[in-house]
Amino acid sequence: MADKVRVGVIGAGVISASHLAGYRANPDRCEVVVIADLDRSRAESRRDEFGLPEATTDAEAVFGRDDIDAVSICLPHSLHEPFVVRAAEAGKHVLCEKPFALNVASLDRMAAACQAAGVVCMSAQVLRFRAIHQAARAFIRTGVLGRIHQTWRRRGGISRSLSQNPWIYDRKQGSLVVHGFGAHEYDILMWLQDAPAETVYACGRVNNPIWDTEDEVSAVFTLRDGSFANMRQSLNTLDGGWDEYIMADHGCLKVGSSSFEWQPVEGEKQVHEHPLDPTGGFAGECGEFVAAVQEDREPEASVRQARWVQATMEAVETSIREGRVVNLREEFGEFGPISVS
Ligand SMILES: NC(=O)c1ccc[n+]([C@@H]2O[C@H](COP(=O)([O-])OP(=O)(O)OC[C@H]3O[C@@H](n4cnc5c(N)ncnc54)[C@H](O)[C@@H]3O)[C@@H](O)[C@H]2O)c1
């Protein structure tokens, strides 16, 4: 391999700009060689925007090149499995957008292909790389909270009109709330307190006729650390609520999108500011990916760590459909760790 990891980006849609900015922020470790999209104008426009050497409509040709070490998969969810498996078969390290897969069986096939090929395989859990979440996690890990009782997390928003991406409305791509947002929210809830879910119970309803999937979801998780969590998601909140409260023996921690507040049972409230970097966490995410490739190690948010959030998304879906509590270990077998740190 060359000194720098040589990257091909597959898919030139919305999220490709974040990957390109993330790689650009790590110039000592990597360079993007080519961007591919079926839509030529999109590929060429990203090429020009980021000053890339090449754009192509032929993703398959990217996999066949010896001067590409790694790929970013920035495609609609249902294309993740065929493209990740193809990347592995071609010996390319792979960073794949979230939701990594549409179900656990699919993730397991992708993980097996990457393991057989000996390539690094990472899920784009970008929230893990935001300064606010890294700082909040480090704060929790000091033990200052004591025993955690309960966590509330919410992700609200307004989304009542058709998006420019029609594939989002296709049920075969999964649900926007459970897969699109849940891939971030369930992962960060569990990762912050290093406590994956043991059981999941969820309710969901389709209310807005433009959606074929639930626009309101509430889920209760029991977590490995003995606490429980309440995850609230809605596309109808009219404002963009996005925060978390962790209630514990020694106080309450409130985690926002750029600061966290610690109110101890006794003592003054502390406010810790951790503004979002200009890449929204993608500098850290892409930097971690290429560092893991160079150092031949498991990255943060590896595919086996992402099995937790994949199983949680599937458990939420199952619980909504069947009205029952889903036990993750009984349903999906054994899991590895949720983090390398
Ligand atoms: N991390 C985040 O916060 C975040 C935000 C947005 C999207 N995403 C994820 O990124 C993925 C892509 O989402 P998006 O919003 O960029 O979608 P998009 O529709 O904007 O872009 C997808 C691109 O893939 C191209 N494409 C489709 N089939 C192809 C093929 N066979 N070969 C080459 N190109 C092909 C399309 O032409 C399109 O340009 C999704 O899984 C989504 O969940 C993540």
Of 121, 145, 167, the position where a domain reaches its end is: 121
Of 59, 89, 121, the position where a domain reaches its end is: 121
**Both 227 and 259 in a single domain?**
yes
- pLDDT tens-digit readout, 140-174: 999 999 999 999 999 998 776 656 677 877 778 88
Asked if residue 208 belongs to a domain, the reply is yes
**Residue 83 Cα: closest atom of ligand 1:** 31
SS3 244: strand
| Interval between CA 97 and ligand 1 midpoint (Å) | 8
Query: What total of structural domains would you count in the chain?
Result: 2
Residue 229 banded pLDDT, cuts 50, 70, 90: very high
Q: Is the CB of 15 under 6 A from ligand 1?
A: yes
- pLDDT tens-digit readout, 248-278: 999 999 999 999 999 999 999 999 999 999 9
Rounded to 5 degrees, what are φ and ψ at 159? -150, 80
17 and 25 in contact (C-beta within 8 Å)?
A: no
pLDDT of residue 167: 83
Range of the domain at 328: 128-281+307-332
Round to whole Å and give the CA distance between 243 and 263.
Answer: 15
**Both 168 and 57 in a single domain?**
no
SS3 297: coil
**Both 184 and 204 in a single domain?**
yes
pLDDT of residue 160: 65
**Both 69 and 114 in a single domain?**
yes
Mean pLDDT of 311-325: 98
Asked if residue 288 belongs to a domain, the reply is no
**Both 36 and 143 in a single domain?**
no
Asked if residue 301 belongs to a domain, the reply is no
Half-sphere exposure of residue 200: CA atoms within 13 angstroms, side-chain side: 33
Q: Is the CB of 126 under 6 A from ligand 1?
A: yes
- pLDDT tens-digit readout, 63-118: 999 999 999 999 999 999 999 999 999 999 999 999 999 999 999 999 999 999 99
247 bridge partner residues: 150, 252
CA nearest ligand 1 atom 8, residue: 15
pLDDT of residue 162: 59
Q: Exposure string (b/e) for 265-283, b if CB count within 10 Å is 16 or more? A: eeeeeeeeebeebebbbbb
3-state DSSP of 178-223? HHHHHHHHHHHHHHHCCCCEEEEEEEEECCCCCCCCCCEEEEEEEE
CATH of the domain at 181: 3.30.360.10
**Both 318 and 214 in a single domain?**
yes
Average pLDDT, the chain: 95
Residue among 9, 10, 35, 37 to mutate when testing ligand 1 (max atoms within 8 A of CB): 37
Mean pLDDT of 172-196: 94
Asked if residue 302 belongs to a domain, the reply is no
Angle at 154 between CA 234 and CA 73, to 5 degrees: 80
pLDDT of residue 178: 95
How far CA 85 is from CA of 90, 116, 215, 266, 297, in Å, comes to 9, 10, 31, 53, 20
Q: Is the CB of 280 under 6 A from ligand 1?
A: no
Q: What percent of the chain has pLDDT over 70?
A: 99
**Both 87 and 145 in a single domain?**
no
**Both 142 and 115 in a single domain?**
no
Residue among 14, 72, 85, 86 to mutate when testing ligand 1 (max atoms within 8 A of CB): 14
What token pair was written down for 203? Answer: 């309710």
Half-sphere exposure of residue 249: CA atoms within 13 angstroms, side-chain side: 9
